[in-house]
Structure formats: structure tokens, C-alpha cells
């Protein structure tokens, strides 16, 4: 009798899971690619080159990101800013900028090394390509447009969640001082899409509210 009751108890679980699966109630997976799961705030995804609120490029072509990259997958060349039409504040700007995504290990060290917060990482992870050349992202593909949107090399690719980069949730920094008390009141890295958000880091109470 005991064995029989255990048998029916187990069968009940099987039936419940079957019904939940058919109705969709019990699914623990996301229906990707129809549904997109919210990524963690510090997700290390596809890189973006940022601009200042006035449209100037943040990259000054200093090559520190390339020097910090353990995978040696960044290629930068700086050039003098045209005096009449400067591209970036200061003397120089990055006129060549490439990242070989096949070699990138998405460690975020380039983001850490950048003195101007020019290079940050987004939540976009769909970067499959048909050939090796397409995996080398050039400046045209990395640099945000003056309106704050981000170009994508495969705009027609249904898997390229380009739109995600244009939302506040999709525009991320690789690492951030957020949560470290010493950074309270200090202007943090850009955490919003488009033109920079210059709000300082909130204090612990405001962050927890």
C-alpha cells in the first residue's frame, strides 16, 4: 500500500509538471530569442565608444586600452586634432580604433584603463559572424552616433538586439564604483544611453531606496 501511494504521489508530480509545461506556467527558461532576459548590471558585452554631451568623441587615442588588453585585440592609432574642427577635447583623438572580438575575452580591463571613459561595455552579446573579418569591429561600428544611438554592423540581423543598446537598461559600464562608499558624490561613469549622464554616485541610502 505504501509503495502504491508513493507511486501515485510521484505520478502527481509528473502530471503537474506536464500541465505547467504545456500551459507555460512552470517554465524556468526564457523563450529566447522571442523573450530577452535582463542582463546583470555589470554584464560584459559588446564594446561602445562614447561621446561627450556636446558630441565630442571621448577617445583621445592614448592607446592605454590597447596596452592593458591581455588578449592584444585592440588596435588604436591617435592623430592630432584638426585645430579648426577638433574631434575630441585636447590635442589628439583616436582616428583608428579596432577590436578583434574573436580574441576578446571580455575582461573589461580596457574599460578600467581608459582615462576618459571613452570605451565601455554594453549588454549586447549576439555577435555571431559568418567570417573572421566581420568579427573585427572598427571605429565606425563602435562609436556612438551624435544622437546617442549605437551603430551595429549587422542591422538586419534578427539576432542583433540593436534596440537594446538604445535603452537605459542596455547601456552599461563594465565596472563601476557603485556601492563603494568612497565614491559617494563623485561623478561616476556613464550609465545611461546617449548623451552623458553626469549625476554623481548616490549615497548608500539613496541607492538602497
Q: Minimum distance between the CB of residue 71 and ligand SF4, rounded to whole angstroms? A: 4
108 binds ligand SF4 (CB under 6 A): yes
Q: For ligand SF4, give the closer residue by CB, 118 or 160.
A: 118
Q: For ligand SF4, which residue of 45, 46, 48, 61 counts as binding (CB under 6 A)? A: 61
Q: Is 65 in the site for ligand SF4 (CB under 6 A)?
A: yes
Interface with ligand SF4 (CB under 6 A), residue from 39, 52, 56, 116: 116
Residues 20/14, Cβ–Cβ less than 8 Å: no
Candidate list 74, 135, 143, 196; residue touching ligand SF4; CB under 6 A: 74
Give the chain's end-to-end CA distance (angstroms, integer). Answer: 56
Q: Pick the piece of the chain touching ligand SF4 (CB under 6 A) from 32-40, 107-115, 153-161, 197-205.
A: 107-115
Judged by CB under 6 A, does residue 45 bind ligand SF4? no
- What cell was used for 37? 532576459
Beta strands 92-100 and 136-137: pairing type? Answer: antiparallel
Question: Which of 115, 124, 139, 98 lies closest to 189, judged by CA?
Answer: 115
**196 is an interface residue for ligand SF4 by CB under 6 A:** no
| 3-class DSSP assignment, residue 100 | strand
User: Contact, 187 vs 196, CB < 8 A?
Assistant: no
Q: Which is nearer to ligand SF4, 75 or 154 (CB)?
A: 75
What would the grid cell of residue 185 be?
558624490
Q: Does 124 bind ligand SF4 (CB under 6 A)?
A: no
Measure the CA–CA gap between 10 and 123, rounded to whole angstroms: 41
Using the structure block, give the residue that is written with the C-alpha cell 561627450: 52
By residue count, the chain amounts to: 209
Residue closer to ligand SF4, measured from CB, 94 or 188:
94
What does the binding site for ligand SF4 look like in residue numbers (CB under 6 A)? 59-65, 68-71, 73-74, 76, 94, 99, 104-110, 113-114, 116, 118-119
Amino acid at each position: 500500500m505504501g509503495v502504491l501511494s508513493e507511486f501515485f504521489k510521484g505520478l502527481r508530480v509528473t502530471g503537474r509538471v506536464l500541465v505547467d509545461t504545456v500551459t507555460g506556467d512552470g517554465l524556468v527558461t526564457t523563450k529566447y530569442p522571442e523573450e530577452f532576459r535582463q542582463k546583470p548590471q555589470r554584464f560584459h558585452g559588446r564594446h561602445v565608444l562614447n561621446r561627450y554631451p556636446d558630441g565630442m568623441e571621448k577617445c583621445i587615442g592614448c592607446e592605454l586600452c590597447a596596452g592593458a588588453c591581455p588578449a592584444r585585440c585592440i588596435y588604436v592609432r591617435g592623430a592630432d586634432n584638426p585645430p579648426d574642427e577638433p574631434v575630441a577635447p585636447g590635442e589628439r583623438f583616436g582616428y583608428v580604433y579596432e577590436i578583434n572580438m574573436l580574441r576578446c575575452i571580455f575582461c573589461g580591463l580596457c574599460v578600467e584603463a581608459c582615462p576618459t571613459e571613452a570605451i565601455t561595455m554594453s549588454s549586447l552579446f549576439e555577435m555571431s559572424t559568418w567570417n573572421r573579418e566581420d568579427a573585427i569591429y572598427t571605429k565606425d561600428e563602435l562609436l556612438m552616433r551624435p544622437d546617442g544611438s549605437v551603430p551595429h554592423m549587422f542591422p538586419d540581423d534578427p539576432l542583433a538586439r540593436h534596440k537594446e543598446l538604445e535603452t537605459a537598461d542596455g547601456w552599461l559600464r563594465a565596472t563601476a564604483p557603485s556601492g563603494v562608499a568612497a565614491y559617494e558624490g563623485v561623478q561616476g561613469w556613464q550609465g545611461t544611453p546617449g548623451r552623458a549622464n553626469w549625476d554623481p554616485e548616490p549615497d548608500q541610502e539613496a541607492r538602497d531606496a
